[in-house]
Each structure stands twice: as structure tokens, then as C-alpha cells.
Amino acid sequence: YEMFCEKLEPIIKKKLPKFQKSISAKKAQEMARYILPVGMKAHLYHTINVTTALRYISVAKYLPEAQNEAIEFVSLLEKEMLKIDKDLKPLIEFAKKEKAVFPEIDLKKFRAENSVKVFDVINYDFNINENYAGVLRASNLFLDESLLGGFNSYIKLSLSADAQNQRHRRSPAIRPSLESIYKQDFYIPPIIKEYLESEYKDAIEYSYKFFEKQIEKIEFGEAIYALTNAHNIEII
């Protein structure tokens, strides 16, 4: 990571307009970050309402990956919520009893060779009310297309891009479990492809070897912390 930051900074500085040259180091960090694992610690200030908090609590134990951390998180969340208002306890208990099913979806019919996006007429293979807990039924997962008719979009993007979209609530989507769609597939930023492609691919290849060794020790759902930000996933 440090090596990529060092090598990319002068390259990026040359390409940036004059008024942006002072942030070339930051831009280099943004590009280099793709080779870091998603397990890197991060500090987020995340503002949510009570309904969203209850959704977290209801689905945590059904997540196919990073489940241990999710369960630990909602346990801490529950304690903090009750410190604020003890009257939330019945709602929290209700959310904990809800049954959520992680959606399974066949991506084969959405995939197309040499294509980034594929659109088709809406055709869900699952029932939103059955697959998401009751406290989720009025959520933004109940999309316009469910009410009006519309289309699905198939998108392949990096874990980094998907996380960013989720933080900004910009990509409500169905995300299959990573294990069900896993293959070695990753994003290369154009500037790295032009100048440092070989070094980048070496770093990514090393990360995949490390990841697959971890699967043998701690299983897929926890080993995913070793996948890089560059790893591509598919969402509908």
C-alpha cells in the first residue's frame, strides 16, 4: 500500500489540474486503497433512526458472512438503545424474534459476456415480505418497481464501490451471499492499469492466496475479511 501511494502520487500530480495538485497524495491513497483488505479497521459516525436499528437487530444472525461481528455489533447496539430509552425493549425483543431469510437469486440469467450492466423486466424470484423480517416491510427495500412494475439491473462492482453506495444509501439491491458467487475477479483503476498493472496484479494474487488459506481455518464467512476492496461482486 505504501509503495503504491509513493509511486502513484507523482503520476497523479501530473494529471491533475493546477488547482487540485495539492491533493495528489490523497488521490494516490484512494487508488492504493483497493489492495487493502476489507478487514481493515474503520471508524464511522453513522446516523440512523430506530426503525433502521431494529432492522439491524433482526437480520444480524441471518447474515451469511461476517456474522460474528454483526451479532456482536447488535448486542452493543441493543445495550446503548436501552440506555437511551428502556421503553424500546418490547420493540427490540420483537425484532430479535423475527425470521429473516437471506435472499437466494440465480444470477446466470442476468449475466452477459462483455457487459457491465444488463437490464430486464422485473422478475423477482422471492417474496419481499417472506424474506425480510416484519420490521423491514416498510423499508426502502420495497422498491418502486414492486409497486409500479419496472426493471432489474445487474451490476458488477468492487466491494469498495458497493460499500460506498450503501453508506450513502444509493444502491438498494439484492446481494447474494459472496460464497455462492465467489471467483477471483477484481477491479483495476485505469491509472493503475496504465502505469502499475503488474505490481497491482501481484498484490491482488497474493491476497487471494492468503484468503483461500484462511477459508480452511475459519470458513468462508469469516475469511472474507481478507478479500481486498478491489474484489468484484454482483448485485441485482
> Across the chain, what does the average pLDDT equal?
82
Asked if pLDDT for residue 183 goes beyond 50, the answer is yes
**Cα dihedral 170, 64, 73, 208 in deg (nearest 10):** -80
- pLDDT band with cut points at 50, 70 and 90 for residue 148: very low
Q: Is the pTM of this model over 0.85?
A: no
Residue 145 banded pLDDT, cuts 50, 70, 90: very low
What local confidence, expressed as pLDDT, does residue 133 receive?
42
**Interval 89-106: pLDDT, tens:** 999 999 898 887 776 777
Is the CA virtual torsion 142, 144, 148, 151 positive or negative?
A: negative
Query: What pLDDT does 118 receive?
Result: 52
- Of the two residues 175 and 19, the one the predictor is more confident about is 19
For residue 169, how many other CB atoms are within 10 A of its CB? 8
